[in-house]
Amino acid sequence: MAQNNSNLVGEYMALWQEHGIEEIPSKKKSRTKRKRKPPQTQPQYKSLTDLQNELRDCRRCGLCKERNKIVFGSGNPKTKLLFVGEGPGANEDKTGLPFVGRAGDLLNKIIEAMALTRDEVYIANIVKCRPPSNRVPLPEEIEECLPFLKAQIELIKPQMIVALGLTAASTLTGEDATMGMLRGKFHNLVWNNSIPLMATYHPAYLLRNPAAKKVVWEDMKLVIKKMGPSKK
C-alpha cells in the first residue's frame, strides 16, 4: 500500500512539473503569502474650511436630492465642548446653520445655563443634509457622512462631546440601547477612547416632553463638573 502511495505521489509530481510547479503547495505558505487589503485612511485636512470645501455640492448619498443647503456646522473651532445632533431640520435646511428654530432656541438656553455662549461651543450633526420629512437617517446615509464628522472632531479636538438624541448617541458610542440607558453617564467615542461623551435627550424631544428638561440639566451638570470651570 505504501509503495502504491509513493508511485501516486511521483505521478502527481511529474504532472505538476509539466505545468511549471516545482513543489507541493503548502497551506502554511499560502497563508503567509496572502495579501491583506491596506487599512483605509481618513484624508487629512488642515482646517474646517478645507473640510467644508471637500463637501462642496456633495452627492455621496440620496439626501442630496431634496436638500436645499448642506449644514456643515458652526461655532468655535477651538472649543472644549462639541454638541452633535442627528441631522438638519427644515429651518436648518433653509439657513445652512445647525439647530435654529425652536429646538435651537432651547439648545441656546441650555448652553447659556452652562455659563457658555453659542459662539464658545461648536455644533454639528451626524448627517449634513436634511432627511425627507425629518426622518431618522438611514445607515447608508450615516456611513457616507460620518467621515466628515470624524474629521471635524479630529480638527476641533474637543475636551467633551454631548450627543443630542438617540441617533447621535448610538452612532458615536456604538451602543444599541435606549436613551434612558445611555444618559447619565460618560461613554467613549467608538473610534476614540480619549474623548468622553455624554448622551442626552434632543431639544426637539424636550419641546414635546418638557418634564425631561430636568433630566437633561442633570446630564449637563455632570458635563460641567467633568470639564471643570470655564476660563473667561
Contacts of 29 (CB under 8 A, 6+ apart): none
What pLDDT was estimated at residue 231? 59
85/201 Cα distance (integer angstroms): 10
Spatial contact of 114 and 192, defined as CB atoms under 8 Å apart: no
Spatial contact of 201 and 164, defined as CB atoms under 8 Å apart: yes
The domain segmentation of the chain, as residue ranges, is 70-227
Residue type, position 67, single letter:
R
Q: Which residues of the chain have pLDDT under 50?
A: 2-3, 5-6, 8-9, 12-41
In our burial notation (b when 16+ CB lie closer than 10 A, e otherwise), range 112-125 reads eebebebebbbbbb
Percent of the chain that is helix, strand, coil (3-state, to 5): 50, 10, 40
Report which secondary-structure segment, H or E, holds 4: helix 2-18
Q: Which three cell numbers stand for residue 85?
A: 445632533
Q: Which residue has the cell 449634513?
A: 128
Ramachandran region, residue 54 (left: φ > 0; alpha: ψ -120 to 50; beta: rest): alpha
What pLDDT was estimated at residue 44? 82
What pLDDT was estimated at residue 230? 64
State the Cα torsion 108-231-120-160 to the nearest 10°.
-80
pLDDT digits (tens, 9 = 90+) for 214-224: 999 999 999 99
Beta bridge partners of residue 164, listed in sequence order: 200
Burial of 131 from C-beta contacts in 10 A (0-12 / 13-18 / 19+): buried
Closest CA to 90 of 109, 68, 118: 68
CATH fold group of domain 70-227: Uracil-DNA Glycosylase, subunit E (3.40.470)
What pLDDT was estimated at residue 145? 97
